[in-house]
Amino acid sequence: MNNSKQTILIVDSNPESAMFFDVNLSRFGYAIQVARSSEEAWQLANSATPSLVISEFSIKPQDGIDFCWMMRQTKYLRAVPFILLTTQSHIDEIKLRAFRHGVDDILQLPVSLRALAGRIETLIWRFDQLVHTDPVTTSLTYDDSEPSEVPLLQGNLQSFNVLEILQFLNMNKKSGTLEVHKDEQTGFMTLKKGEVKYAEIDEHYGEEAMYRLAIWRDGIFKFSTKIGDQKDNIEKATMKLILDCCTVLDMENFMVKM
Q: What is the pLDDT of residues 13-39, one digit of tens each?
A: 999 999 999 999 999 999 999 999 999
Q: Which of 27-36, 124-133, 219-228 has the highest mean pLDDT?
A: 27-36
Q: Give SS3 for 82.
A: strand
Amino acid at 253: N
pLDDT above 50 for 82: yes
Q: Which of 68-77, 118-127, 149-158 has the lowest mean pLDDT?
A: 149-158
Assign residue 173 a region (left: φ > 0; alpha: ψ between -120 and 50; beta: otherwise).
Answer: left
Are the C-beta atoms of residues 179 and 221 closer than 8 Å to each other?
A: yes
Residue 137 has pLDDT above 50, yes or no: no
Cα→Cα distances 131→26, 81, 144, 257, Å = 25, 11, 11, 36
What CATH number does the domain located at 7-140 have? 3.40.50.2300
pTM to 2 decimal places: 0.65
Domain ranges of the chain: 7-140, 145-257
H/E run at residue 21: helix 15-26
What is the C-alpha separation between 152 and 223, in angstroms, rounded? 6
